[in-house]
């Protein structure tokens, strides 16, 4: 079972009052139903189909006709088709459904707005399993005005959703892992939140560890590169006249660099200070190697 199906199963089993059910059903019909002389709702999720049937029966004493058939897409999943033939005009009016967005009373407070978004997700939403390579939550909607309305509802909760035109539909999507977790929490998918956050924290920790390892490796590479350059400079000077062209402090730095080629400047300064009894800082050692490099560059220029 996909993560999307798992989330929808959990949301479909939430206990809500009749007022919230009205808002959720309004979203389901508005966002996904085919409305002609009848109201037809089609879903691939058995739990969602049962929830829609229950809403219709409890709110309007209407028993939708249920048809189950296999889909025509490549996956050939079962489709659950609920057809409402009675009281359609009354139901649509009672659900506050208009051409672009619902009547204000459908989303008049926070609980009703969340219920409405839950209904849209049950019919049109999908969410990637956090174990995959990227975080992604989307709603696939048919009309631009309605997609922008749903995006505005999501963004009223600071979820940073965006709208993208794709083929003959409009995708409202959220990419940020933390925001997707917030959405699941808002919808009441407690089990999905626990699973999602556990995976997200694990992935974030793993990514941070990798970044630290990469940073550490980059530092090691820089140390080796710098040391090799210094060794090459020292050997070039040594090939001309030994180390007699260097003063006493520079000779000391050169001798220790040849002896400890893998040491960083900080480590080398501590070694010299410890073995000679004369304190030298990393900055002071850098200054000595800078003079050695200048001399080596002059020799190269003459050659």
Domain boundaries, the chain: 3-188, 215-302
Residues in the chain, overall count: 303
pLDDT of residue 140: 95
Contact assessment for residue 3 and residue 180, using Cβ atoms and an 8 Å cutoff: no
For the chain, give the percent of residues with pLDDT over 90: 53
Spatial separation of the C-alpha atoms in residues 15 and 27, rounded to whole Å: 17
Show Cβ contacts of residue 56 under 8 Å, excluding neighbours closer than 6 positions: 25, 62, 63, 64, 82, 84, 91
Q: What is the pLDDT of residues 76-129, one digit of tens each?
A: 688 999 999 999 999 999 999 987 889 999 999 999 999 999 999 999 999 998
In angstroms and rounded to an integer, the radius of gyration of the C-alpha atoms of the chain is: 34
242 vs 156: which has the higher pLDDT:
156
Please give the Cα distance from 67 to 72 (Å, whole number): 15
Asked whether the beta carbons of 187 and 118 are under 8 A apart, the reply is yes
pLDDT(74) > 70: no
Rounded to whole angstroms, how far apart are CA atoms 252 and 271? 12
Decide if pLDDT at 251 tops 90.
no
pLDDT of residue 121: 97
- pLDDT for the residue numbered 220: 75
Provide the pLDDT for residue 64.
Answer: 94
Is residue 198 predicted with pLDDT exceeding 90? no
pLDDT per residue as tens digits for the range 22-35: 999 999 999 999 99
Q: What is the pLDDT of residues 56-73, one digit of tens each?
A: 999 999 999 999 988 766
Superfamily of chain region 3-188: Homing endonucleases (3.10.28.10)
Cα three-residue angle 255-260-263, rounded to 5 degrees: 125
Alpha-carbon distance of 122 to 91, in angstroms, equals: 20
46's CB contacts (< 8 A; 6+ apart) are 78, 80
DSSP 8-state code for residue 167:
T
In tens, the pLDDT along 44-57 reads 999 999 999 999 99
Q: Is the pLDDT of residue 214 over 90?
A: no
Per DSSP bridges, beta strands 162-166 and 39-43 are unpaired
Answer for the pair 68, 79: CB distance below 8 angstroms, yes or no: yes
Q: What is the pLDDT of residue 100?
A: 82
Residue 261 pLDDT more than 70? yes
Rounded Cα gap, residues 230 and 236, in angstroms? 10
For the ranges 130-134, 149-153, 178-182, the lowest mean pLDDT is seen at 130-134
Report how far residue 88's alpha carbon sits from residue 35's, in angstroms, rounded to the nearest whole number.
Answer: 9
Average pLDDT of the segment spanning 186-213: 81
The Cβ of residue 17 has, within 10 Å, a number of other Cβ atoms equal to: 9
């Amino acid at each position: 079972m996909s993560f999307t199906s798992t989330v929808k199963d959990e949301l479909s089993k939430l206990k809500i009052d009749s007022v919230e059910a009205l808002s959720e059903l309004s979203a389901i019909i508005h966002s996904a139903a085919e409305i002609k002389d009848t109201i037809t709702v089609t879903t691939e999720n058995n739990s969602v189909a049962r929830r829609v049937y229950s809403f219709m029966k409890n709110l309007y004493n209407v028993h939708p006709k249920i048809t189950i058939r296999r889909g025509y897409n490549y996956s050939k999943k079962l489709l659950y088709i609920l057809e409402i033939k009675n009281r359609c005009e009354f139901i649509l009016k009672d659900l506050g459904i208009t051409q672009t967005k619902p009547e204000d009373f459908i989303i008049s407070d926070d609980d009703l707005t969340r219920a409405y978004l839950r209904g849209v997700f049950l019919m049109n939403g999908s969410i990637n399993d956090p174990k995959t390579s990227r975080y992604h939550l989307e709603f696939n909607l048919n009309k631009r005005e309605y997609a922008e309305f749903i995006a505005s509802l999501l963004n009223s909760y600071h979820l940073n959703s965006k709208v993208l035109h794709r083929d003959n539909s409009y995708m409202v999507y959220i990419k940020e892992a933390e925001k997707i977790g917030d959405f699941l929490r808002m919808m009441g998918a407690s089990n999905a939140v626990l699973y999602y956050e556990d995976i997200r924290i694990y992935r974030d920790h793993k990514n941070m560890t990798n970044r630290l390892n990469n940073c550490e490796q980059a530092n090691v590479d820089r140390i080796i590169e710098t040391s090799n350059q210094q060794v090459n400079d020292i050997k070039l000077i040594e090939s001309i006249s030994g180390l007699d062209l260097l003063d006493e402090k520079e000779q000391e730095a050169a001798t220790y660099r040849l002896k400890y080629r893998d040491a960083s400047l900080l480590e080398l300064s501590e070694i010299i200070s410890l073995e000679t009894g004369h304190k030298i800082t990393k900055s002071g050692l850098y200054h000595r190697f800078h003079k050695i490099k200048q001399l080596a560059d002059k020799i190269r220029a003459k050659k």
